[in-house]
């Protein structure tokens, strides 16, 4: 069963989906440009048998917060992912 969660990282709110049990090793799945977390549904259902699949939505994607300026950078995305992983 997938659970929708939110986390505050790098000054923004990211939505992520969690398909697994907390005691398993984490498997983070990142979407591409114009993507969202639900792209991983099929893969996550298979991976969850052995890992804890998580799929964050990058800022400005899906139900994650948008930048008020409307501008985004690779550095922001990398920092967001690093802080997301650290928050686990």
Q: Among 3.30.70.20, 3.90.1110.10, 3.40.50.1820, 1.10.8.80, what is the CATH number of 3-87?
A: 3.40.50.1820
pTM given for the model: 0.92
Q: What is the mean pLDDT of residues 13-27?
A: 93
| pLDDT for res 87 | 97
Sorted by sequence, the CB contacts under 8 Å of residue 10 that are 6+ apart come out as: 76, 79, 80, 83
Percent of the chain's residues with pLDDT above 90:
86
Sorted by sequence, the CB contacts under 8 Å of residue 8 that are 6+ apart come out as: 14
Q: What is the mean pLDDT of residues 62-79?
A: 93
Q: Identify the burial level of 51 via C-beta atoms within 10 angstroms of its C-beta, where 0-12 means exposed, 13-18 middle and 19 or more buried.
A: middle
- The DSSP H or E segment spanning 54 is strand 52-56
Q: Does the structure show a pLDDT above 90 at 2? A: yes
Question: Is residue 22 within 8 Å of residue 52, measured between CB atoms?
Answer: yes
Q: Does the structure show a pLDDT above 90 at 22? A: no
């Amino acid at each position: 069963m997938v659970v929708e969660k939110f986390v505050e990282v790098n000054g923004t709110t990211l939505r992520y989906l969690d398909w697994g049990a907390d005691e398993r090793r984490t498997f983070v799945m990142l979407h591409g440009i114009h993507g969202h977390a639900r792209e991983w549904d099929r893969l996550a259902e298979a991976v969850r048998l052995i890992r804890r699949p998580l799929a964050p939505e990058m800022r400005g994607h899906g139900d994650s917060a948008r930048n008020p300026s409307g501008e985004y950078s690779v550095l922001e995305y990398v920092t967001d992912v690093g802080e997301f992983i650290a928050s686990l």
